[in-house]
Structure 1
Amino acid sequence: MRPGCFGLAMGVKKGFEVRKMYTNKRKSDGKVRSCRYVCANEGHRKKDKRDHLTKCPRAETRTDCQVRMGLIMDREKETYKVADLILEHNHMLQLPQTSHLMVSQRKISELQGFEIETADDAGIGPKAAHELACVQVGGSSDLSYTLRDHKNYLRAKRQREMAYGQAGSMLMYFQDKIAENPSFQYALQMDIEEQIANIFWVDAKMLTDYAYFGDVVSFDTTFGTNKESRPFGVFVGFN
């Protein structure tokens, strides 16, 4: 049984998401002795501890559904048999028209990833690129990923680049500038995944110029449409 399995109900294919509740393995060889799969709507989500003033609370999607299947290994034959099974859901199941929205059914292939990156490099926004991909396959219901998946793919790609390339080089540059002149300052703002979200820096000359000519400051974000999709704000002073 794998996530996103489908059952037959009233002659119509309906589906539901599956989660692995637990797995017990043998210490000797690491083989699974027993495990249990449950409906993704099993139980209730733990209380959201995030700051609701800055983060929207997550919608409650669990309904304490009791559907589950427990498997146990036959020690002699080393085959698995069903030891526990409940099939009655307490919520609506996914229809074929909406099954592509299930997490287990949404995936971006290597070719699709290449097309997403190519469109991004060409300056095509995620929404337009996703709409084009939908047209190419005959509609959104035939595409294996959603617009959110498209955006998440680009975000993950940029985070990897920042983690291993640009961010490391930039931080090293900042440290070198501080070594040259302690008046150089920079600040980083991290997101909930401890990834760099925003960066601010100012060198000694900027501080001195502002002390003398800080009558007006313009904040220019003209460069907000670069291929990284990250706003670049320039503070410009006028005396």
Structure 2
Amino acid sequence: MEFDTVLEAKDFWKSYGGMMGFDIRQLYANKCKLDNSVSSFRLVCAKEGQRRPDKRDHLTKQPRAETRTSCQVRMLLKFARDIKKYVICDLELNHNHILQIPKTSHMMPSQRKISEVQALQIDLADEAGIRPKETHELTSLQAGGKDVLGYTKQDQKNYLRSK
């Protein structure tokens, strides 16, 4: 499979992860020293690897739950200079953990996104004095349900706080 840009490959991996039920992240990207373009990069399952131990406090009474399981799912892409496209060099699709069901896959961080139209609705409701909870309920009713909306109440609060 070939991609014209890095963004196109990331969008493909994100949509594939959403359909299959796993969250995604970029592990690394190598850049060419001559023109500062991306020469290769690896996209992985978000549960790849292990979390480093917290060296600040070793006497933690309630440590955070372990979320990584050393999942080997990955996609390595390299830039082929002869065809000027990114080509998949390494692909592993076998998970070692339970995947999300399609009904809840919209809640994964990589799948949540506030569109420009939704951002405009949130801004207008905020300027009109409507509380964020009511705004979220209204937009979810207009979209046909919270699972179709594409973002959570917390995402909406973060958006309002960051603008």
Contact 1:100 1:144 in 2 (8 A): yes
Q: Any idea what the Cα deviations from partners look like across 1:187-226, whole Å, max 9, x if unmatched?
A: xxxxxxxxxxxxxxxxxxxxxxxxxxxxxxxxxxxxxxxx
RMSD: 2.5
Change (3 A) 1:50 1:99: farther
**2:120 corresponding residue in structure 1:** 114
Structure 2, unmatched stretches of 5+, are: 1-8
Q: How far apart in 2 are the matches of 1:72 and 1:124?
A: 48
SS in structure 2 at match of 1:5: helix
**1:187 corresponding residue in structure 2:** none
**1:4 corresponding residue in structure 2:** 14
Q: How far apart in 1 are the matches of 2:159 and 2:74?
A: 32
Contact 1:5 1:15 in 2 (8 A): no
**2:20 corresponding residue in structure 1:** 14
Matches within 5 A, 1:118-137: 118-137=124-143
Q: Does 1:92 align with 2:98?
A: yes
Aligned-pair identity (%): 55
For residue 70 of structure 1, the aligned residue among 73, 76, 82 is: 76
Q: How far apart in 2 are the matches of 1:6 and 1:136?
A: 26
TM-score by length of 2: 0.76
Q: How far apart in 2 are the matches of 1:83 and 1:72?
A: 7
Q: Does 1:24 align with 2:9?
A: no
Q: Any idea what the Cα deviations from partners look like across 1:2-43, whole Å, max 9, x if unmatched?
A: 252326xxxxx4232221111112111223222211111111
Residues paired across the two proteins, number: 148
Task: Identify, as 1 or 2, the structure richer in strand.
Answer: 1
Q: Which has the higher contact order (CA 8 A, sep 6+)?
A: 2
SS in structure 1 at match of 2:141: helix
Larger Cα-atom Rg? 1
